[in-house]
């Protein structure tokens, strides 16, 4: 059975037009932000629902049911992970890999990256947003097959990220793998969110610099931040929290 795990509903809408065969599973989380505590999945789901601020039942219907499709996958399943290179997507993907790697079934796992985008000017951080059906087919044809070492690395990355073990993330980022081609850059961007000297994190510094240059409207700040730091992949929810924090402390 073929499964396509898509990072968000926006990609799901355009995916149907590609005519690529297989069942769709939609990842509806943003694990780059918020409470990640939980010694088991049930506790983890509870922590996430509470952080997001929605009833557990609503979270289950919208988010958990999609993950249950992964956990209930039959033997000889094929998983195609449609994620992007930025930190936002990579963290989500590490979590998905950690679940898949624990499945006691025969499985084939591949990552479908945005291979249709120009890599010479860092445009590839922008993701699937404007991809048409033909480009999605190209991306699928260029997917990267993961071996057992890649799967274990993905699981280890999630474990280190969930526990906020930055030193372990830095160590893991030294691994060379075609499955995680920009791992060092992404991990460095994450570590830079939490400087040890009590200074502002890298995203806050960038936001502060943008504001100091006369750009104060959030939408304008958001666009400029993306021009400078698209490696983070922040949505407006994540950036608004940081923007409010910077504005409050000015």
SS (H, E, C) 114-148: CCCCCCCCCHHHHCCCCCCHHHHHHHHHCCEECCH
Per-residue model confidence (pLDDT) at position 248: 87
Per-residue model confidence (pLDDT) at position 194: 93
The model's pTM: 0.95
Tell me which fold the domain 2-187 belongs to: Dna Topoisomerase Vi A Subunit; Chain: A, domain 2 (3.40.1360)
Per-residue model confidence (pLDDT) at position 158: 98
Per-residue model confidence (pLDDT) at position 170: 98
What's the start-to-end Cα distance of the chain, in Å? Answer: 54
Per-residue model confidence (pLDDT) at position 220: 97
The domain locations on the chain are: 2-187, 202-249
Nearest by Cα to 221 from 206, 200, 201:
206
Q: Determine the Cα–Cα distance for residues 206 and 112; give it in Å rounded to an integer.
A: 30
Q: Determine the Cα–Cα distance for residues 226 and 182; give it in Å rounded to an integer.
A: 18
Q: Residue 108 forms beta bridges with which residues? A: 78
* DSSP states along 188-225: HHHHTTS-TTS---HHHHHHHHHHHTT--SHHHHHHHH
Per-residue model confidence (pLDDT) at position 124: 65
Per-run averaged pLDDT (10 residues), the chain, 250 residues:
94 89 96 96 97 96 97 97 96 98 97 84 75 93 97 98 97 96 97 89 96 95 95 93 90
Per-residue model confidence (pLDDT) at position 162: 98
- Tokens for 210? 């943008």
The single-letter DSSP state of residue 97 is H
Q: Determine the Cα–Cα distance for residues 178 and 174; give it in Å rounded to an integer.
A: 13
Nearest by Cα to 1 from 83, 103, 138, 106:
106
**Cβ count within 10 A of residue 110:** 17
Nearest by Cα to 20 from 153, 131, 145:
131
Per-residue model confidence (pLDDT) at position 121: 65
């Amino acid at each position: 059975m073929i499964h396509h795990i898509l990072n968000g509903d926006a990609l799901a809408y355009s995916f149907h037009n590609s005519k690529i065969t297989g069942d769709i599973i939609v990842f509806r989380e943003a694990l780059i932000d918020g409470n990640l505590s939980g010694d088991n999945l049930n506790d983890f789901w509870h922590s996430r629902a509470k952080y997001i601020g929605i009833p557990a039942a609503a979270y289950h219907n919208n988010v958990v049911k999609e993950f249950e499709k992964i956990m209930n996958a039959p033997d000889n399943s094929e998983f195609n992970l449609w994620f992007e290179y930025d930190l936002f997507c990579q963290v989500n993907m590490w979590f998905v890999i950690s679940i898949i790697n624990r499945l006691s079934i025969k499985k084939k796992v591949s990552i479908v990256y945005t291979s249709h985008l120009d890599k010479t000017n860092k445009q590839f951080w922008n993701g699937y947003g404007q991809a048409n059906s033909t480009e999605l087919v190209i991306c699928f044809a260029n997917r990267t097959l993961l071996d057992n070492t890649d799967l274990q690395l993905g699981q280890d990355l999630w474990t280190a990220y969930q526990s906020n073990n930055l030193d372990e993330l830095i160590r893991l980022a030294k691994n060379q793998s075609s499955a995680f081609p920009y791992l060092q850059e992404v991990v460095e961007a994450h570590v830079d969110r939490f400087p040890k000297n009590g200074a502002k994190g890298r995203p806050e510094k960038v936001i502060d610099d943008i504001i100091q240059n006369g750009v104060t409207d959030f939408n304008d700040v958001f666009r400029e931040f993306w021009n400078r730091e698209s490696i983070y992949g922040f949505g407006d929810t994540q950036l608004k929290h940081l923007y409010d924090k910077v504005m409050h402390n000015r």
